[in-house]
Amino acid sequence: MLAKRIIPCLDVTGGRVVKGVNFVELRDAGDPVEIAARYNEQGADELTFLDITATSDGRDLILPIIEAVASQVFIPLTVGGGVRTVADVRRLLNAGADKTSFNSAAIANPQVISEASDKYGSQCIVVAIDAKRRSAEAQQQPDASGQPRGPGWNVFSHGGRKDTGLDAVQWAREMAQRGAGELLLTSMDRDGTKAGFDLELTRTISDAVGIPVIASGGVGTLEHLAEGVTQGGADAVLAASIFHFGTYTVQQAKEYMASRGIPVRL
Amino acid sequence: MTDSSKTLVVVDYGSGNLRSVWQAAVHAAADTPWQVTLSNDPAILRAANRIILPGQGAMADCMRELRASGLLEPVLQAAQSKPLFGVCVGMQMLLEHSEEGDTPSLGLIPGRVRRFALEGRLQPDGSRYKIPQMGWNRVHRSAAHPNHPMWQGIADGSWFYFVHSYYAQPDRPEHCAGYTEYGEPFASAIVRDNLFATQFHPEKSADQGIALYRNFLRWQP
């Protein structure tokens, strides 16, 4: 049967892989090819590169990184961060990416997901959704039919700074209908907390769409990774810091998941 | 040709994954006499010793691009005479017809390509089946080809990387080289004479995928 995937996420800026704590004090984490090769040897099922470069000037610097990694490491590579247009998809695929992840640009222009997926196939179009539980105040705001929206999650854009007012479940469905091949779902409430995934969010979205869902945000322990699958219903789990800082290896994570009866590639 | 000038050509008709396929093939050919080339030149394809036919995206687009590129004829010629490895949609094109866009295909292996019909069904762990099947799954050797040379050094049940919504259904069991379970068992590797093809992506399947490409360079059908 299909294995549940473990996906380490690497932050990239200025042409280097970096690691930081809560986006401050970024430190050079080493050579991208070496890091990618190490994760590959540990059994990572895919790698996600997140371009955290703030300006478009530095953005193209990720292309040589992807080229270098893709020539040496033969597992799927996803690139996210600043992907805006169908032309961006082409450039990243040409550099050796297998998937590209849209976020804010899909919110500004949902049609770009339809166009990119028509042109290059849904298998290479990931939509990243940053979701945050609605506050008591936000629950009182009226929906399209004039009723209070009630509990749920709103989609945020621009790195989590802007509340779009979109309902995360409806947004996930629309993205799937428009041809997204996969959703990368991050709980903003949990991101960086090490308190575990928002399992209710993960389960709700996973049950709402027929495409794979990658859970992200909040992993602090191996148990959290397993819960994302067993309780959250995720098809894959993404984590950054527990792997970067050497808390656990991917291999240890997989062995733990296997011990919990989760099918993984060992 | 002599051993010093063997050429493996990855057919460049504009398919999205051809660069990955080419890079993995280059990696597999390291320390061998093989030259690996990415080419859209019909003359180079005709002169090649072996061919890899990649494919990604919609079947109808792949068929159209293959025709428009002028490479259909040399690919068909290769299929008659030399080892050819089809990958993903490059595998699906070898059959007669695909449900995707109701597309007639190359007809080199009897059978059809169907869409997974798994909506509403649950996996053994209780989660729903997702389409596309995206991720790593096991490939088992078929009863017809338990010791096919392409499987040399690759354990039965090895993991390979899949991304697909459609799967091949060859008419004859002897054309199935390997199978995978996703809802039902389906043919994840097919074979006929000098043709071998996989639904999964060897170029994204880490060491096992490179091993399969290496076997392809040695295969004497």
A130 is catalytic: yes
State whether A74 and B125 contact (CB < 8 Å): no
Does A1 sit within 8 Å of B135, measured CB to CB?
Answer: no
| pLDDT at residue B4, as a whole number | 60
Residue B1 has pLDDT above 60, yes or no: no
- Under 8 Å between Cβ of A237 and A225: yes
**Residue A26 pLDDT exceeds 70:** no
Place A101 in a pLDDT band, splitting at 50, 70 and 90.
very high
Nearest to B159 among A3, A233, A236 (CB): A3
With CA atoms as reference, the chain B residue closest to A39 would be B206
pLDDT at A20: 59
Q: Where are the beta strands (DSSP E) in chain B?
A: 6-11, 34-39, 50-53, 84-87, 97-98, 103-104, 111-115, 133-141, 158-164, 166-170, 176-182, 184-192, 195-198
All structural domains of chain B with their residue ranges = 3-101+112-218
Domains of chain A (ranges; CATH) run 5-259 (3.20.20.70)
User: Taking Cα atoms as reference points, which of A231, A220, A252, A205 lies closest to residue A6?
Assistant: A252
With a CB cutoff of 8 Å and minimum separation 6, the contacts of A53 are: A12, A13, A14, A59, A61, A62, A81, A82
Tokens of A191: 């991101």
**What is the rounded distance in angstroms from the CA atom of residue B194 to the CA atom of residue B50?**
10
What are the CA-CA distances from residue B94 to residues A6, A16, A177, B79, B113 (Å)?
33, 42, 30, 9, 10
For residue B2, what pLDDT is reported? 47
For residue A244, the model assigns a pLDDT of 84
Residues paired with residue B134 on neighbouring β-strands, in sequence order: B163
Cα A255–Cα A257–Cα A259 angle in degrees, nearest 5? 70
Residue A185, pLDDT above cutoff 70 = yes
Residues of B in contact with A235 (CB under 8 A): 127, 130, 134-135
Range A204-232 average pLDDT: 95
Torsion sign over Cα B128, B134, B137, B141: positive
- Taking CB atoms and an 8 Å cut-off, how many pairs form between chains A and B? 100
A16, pLDDT greater than 90 = no
pLDDT value at residue A52: 84
Task: Find out whether B138 and B181 touch, Cβ atoms under 8 Å.
Answer: yes
What angle in degrees, to the nearest 10, is found between the helix axes of A86-95 and A62-70? 40
Give per-residue pLDDT as tens, B23-49.
999 999 999 999 999 999 999 999 999
- Asked whether the beta carbons of residue B137 and residue A2 sit closer than 8 angstroms, the reply is yes
How many whole angstroms from its chain centre is CA B92?
Answer: 8
Over residues A9-20, the mean pLDDT reads 81
CB-based contact A1 B24, cutoff 8 Å: no
Q: Which CATH architecture has domain B3-101+112-218?
A: 3-Layer(aba) Sandwich (3.40)
Neighboring chain B residues of A206 at a CB cutoff of 8 Å: 127-128
Query: What does the pLDDT look like over B166-176, one tens digit per residue?
Result: 999 999 999 99
> Do A120 and B23 lie within an 8 Å CB cutoff?
no
- Locus of tokens 């089946």: B129
Which ipTM was obtained for this model? Answer: 0.91
Q: How far is A162 from chain B (nearest CA, A)?
A: 31
The mean of the pLDDT values for chain A is 91
Q: What residues of chain B have any CB closer than 8 angstroms to a CB in chain A?
A: 16-17, 19-20, 23-24, 27, 56-58, 119, 123-125, 127-128, 130-138, 159, 161-164, 181-182, 203-206, 209-210
Is A2 within 8 Å of B204 when comparing Cβ atoms? no
A41 reaches B (C-beta below 8 A) = no
Active-site residue identified among A45, A51, A98, A130: A130
Per cent of chain B over pLDDT 90 is 85
